[in-house]
Copies of this chain bind each other. A is one copy, B any other.
Amino acid sequence: MSKLTAGIIVIGDEILSGRTQDTNSNFMSKQLIQAGIKLDEIRVIQDNRDSIIQNILHFHKTYTYVFTTGGIGPTHDDITSESISSAFNEKYCFHPKAFKILEEHYPKGEFNEGRQKMAKMPENAKLIINPLTAAPGFVIKNVYVLPGVPEIMQKMFVSLLRIIEKGSPKKTITLNTNLYESTIAIGLATIQNKYLDCSIGSYPYFNYINKTSGVHIVVSSWSLNNLDNIVEEIKKMILLLGGKSSIV
């Protein structure tokens, strides 16, 4: 088990209405597993002050790192920064450095009230620099507040991962088999019970175009250095059942 855990809070009515497919949390989840940080939960919540406050406080207490995306733009429906300030009883005010970055970014006379709003955050927040569109994210306690636009979020998240404490990446081997999931169910359960410090996941797939189907077996562990024995046992079990297997 990694000692470092994470929770993601996706803030945005556009995800809950189906208008936008959230891809940010999938991007982050892949990066986190490589960084040795165990993602335990993702929540998608409304642009609603009470909901943001409640979820932020719960995740803040529960996980090593909390990442939020969405709701830090210039318009009235962007209420993430203000709500997070309230959650931590912090003054919601202009961050001098953020104000300066944005003032210098825009042509003279174009740093309007909407854009100025993007420099407002909890008083003791530290900035997360935005290399694409200038408007920064911020960190307050263990909460990392990022924008929702994927191109911008991704750049900022990758920079962030370089500087925060990381663990050892989760070790993973994926096997493919042509057998049905139900055929290997008992054998897999027996092997799983033998190796409690690894997790064995089983994911059936159907490809309607190629008319192929089978199961991906994902063997993974945060603590074991070597998964080879487990994988060998699974291969043998599949062979005994008359199936084929290969490493994916």
Residues of B within 8 A of A114 (CB): 181-186
Interface string of A78-106 (1 = CB under 8 A from B): 00000000000000000000000000000
Known: A17-B29, A18-B33, A23-B21. A117 touches B218 (CB 8 A): no
Known: A41-B43, A200-B77. A29 touches B18 (CB 8 A): yes
How many of these chains are in the complex? 2
Interface 9-residue window, one of A123-131, A137-145, A201-209: A201-209
* Interface size of A in residues (CB-CB distance below 8 Å): 65
Q: CB < 8 Å: which of B13, B42, B172 contacts A16?
A: B42
Known: A16-B29, A17-B220, A42-B16. A149 touches B182 (CB 8 A): no
Q: CB < 8 Å: which of B32, B73, B77, B186 contacts A113?
A: B186
Known: A13-B201, A73-B202, A76-B189. A182 touches B218 (CB 8 A): no
Give the distance in Å from the alpha carbon of A218 to the alpha carbon of B14 in the complex.
9
A26 B22 Cβ-Cβ under 8 A: yes
B13 A25 Cβ-Cβ under 8 A: no
**Could you tell me the dominant secondary structure of chain A's interface residues?**
mixed
Residues of B within 8 A of A246 (CB): none
Residues of B within 8 A of A13 (CB): 199, 201
Known: A200-B77, A206-B149. A182 touches B14 (CB 8 A): no
Interface string of A197-225 (1 = CB under 8 A from B): 00111111010100000000010100000
Q: In angstroms, how far is the closest chain B Cβ from the Cβ of A211?
A: 14
A46 B40 Cβ-Cβ under 8 A: yes
Give the distance in Å from the alpha carbon of A192 to the alpha carbon of B47 in the complex.
14
Is A162 among interface residues, defined by CB-CB distance under 8 A?
no
Query: What 4 pairs across the A-B complex have the smallest Cβ distances?
Result: A114-B185, A18-B30, A114-B182, A18-B29
16 residue pairs A–B, Cβ–Cβ below 8 Å: A13-B199, A14-B201, A15-B42, A16-B41, A17-B218, A19-B203, A19-B218, A41-B45, A41-B51, A42-B44, A75-B188, A76-B200, A112-B182, A114-B182, A114-B185, A149-B206
